[in-house]
Amino acid sequence: MSVEQSITREDRCEPPYPLHPSVADRIDPQYADFYNKHIMKHQQVHLQPIEASRTSGTLIPGAGPLAPVAKVEDYFISREETTGPRVRIRAFTPSGSTPEEGWPVCVYFHGGGWVLGTIDTENVIASNLCARGRSVVVAVDYRLAPENPFPAAVDDCWESVLWVLGQGKEILNLDTTRLATGGSSAGGNLAAIMCQRAATLGSPKFSLQLLSVPVTDNTADTSNSKSWNENQHTPALPAPKMMWYRNHYLPNKSDWSHPEASPLLWEGDWSKPPYAVIVVGELDVLRDEGIQFGEKLRRAGVNADIHIMKGQPHPFIAMDGVLDAGKEAITYFCDALRETMYPGEKQKTH
């Protein structure tokens, strides 16, 4: 199916876009109020040129303030195993005294369907993880499709992990025995893949994966997934928009089931990846594949916390300034990071 074919006649219209009747009575009132005031009047991403979306400003409105950290520095890192340009990363360092053995570290990947988003997209989440999780957070500006389709993003993310283990360890004063990863949506997909690749290779040893609304099955659609079917007209990520992203990132349909595109289909040892904290939206097309990913870990004996945010469509974690669910989701992540990296402490981060 081409990108154009994935957009139905019903979607070919102009704003405003009122909430679809199939979700209007199920959606969280806070989200509905913000959507009706600030989002409904704007053109949808999959119905305009990519460049228009990339230059339009904030990818998802409604974010809260940055959390205070000691410093934020950007680096351009060289590659060890793949070819391509240098990868830009951003390091957030907490305030306070550096632990004697170095800072714990979380490598974080932004969302945007592998097509949109930048290193600036999820600074709020990264700064919260840094400040409240007392860990260095390394955010990655991986290459985007369609200019750089699969597996470019995977390669860039893996190179960032290798840099953290090597040069980054010295530059940022890291304790890489305390290593986490995380991401939102496409970023959650990439974080899960990093853990699976590390499990296959035997290193590095991740101790935590933080997955917000992760894409885990790029073969899912309205014909084979309950959440895709019942939420196909949801705001923020309706089914045609998700297909638009998929077709840009994975133009070869044969790659849709590749385990480094669909980590739910990984055939490795599911007892090897780390503890997972997964948050999904009840009204998100990606809900069920996120839940299934966590359940698959659980069946293999891996601890997986699965939080289903009632009435929420896809982007809630990036809307912590206006949604209680966004604040709650970030707190789940910050608490898990703090407690995993500092297991002797009991204090919550909020």
Residue recorded with tokens 């019942």: 230
Catalytic residue among 6, 127, 185, 262: 185
The torsion defined by the Cα of 16, 112, 215 and 261, in degrees rounded to 10, comes to 130
Which residue, 123, 110, 114, 181, is CA-closest to 143? 114
Residue 332 corresponds to which tokens in the numbers above? 């789940």
CA angle 152-74-147, nearest 5°?
25
**Strand 71-77 versus strand 87-93 pairing type:** antiparallel
22 catalytic, yes or no? no
Terminal alpha carbon distance of the chain: 45
Residue 172 corresponds to which tokens in the numbers above? 């940022």
Q: How far apart are CA 164 and CA 175, in angstroms?
A: 10
Q: What share of the chain is helix, strand, coil (3-state, %, to 5)?
A: 35, 15, 45
Q: How far apart are CA 200 and CA 212, in angstroms?
A: 23
Q: How far apart are CA 49 and CA 36, in angstroms?
A: 24
Report whether 267 contacts 300 (CB < 8 A): no
Report whether 188 contacts 215 (CB < 8 A): yes
Catalytic residue among 284, 288, 320, 335: 284
255 catalytic, yes or no? no
185 catalytic, yes or no? yes
Q: How far apart are CA 252 and CA 243, in angstroms?
A: 13
Known catalytic residues? 185, 284, 314
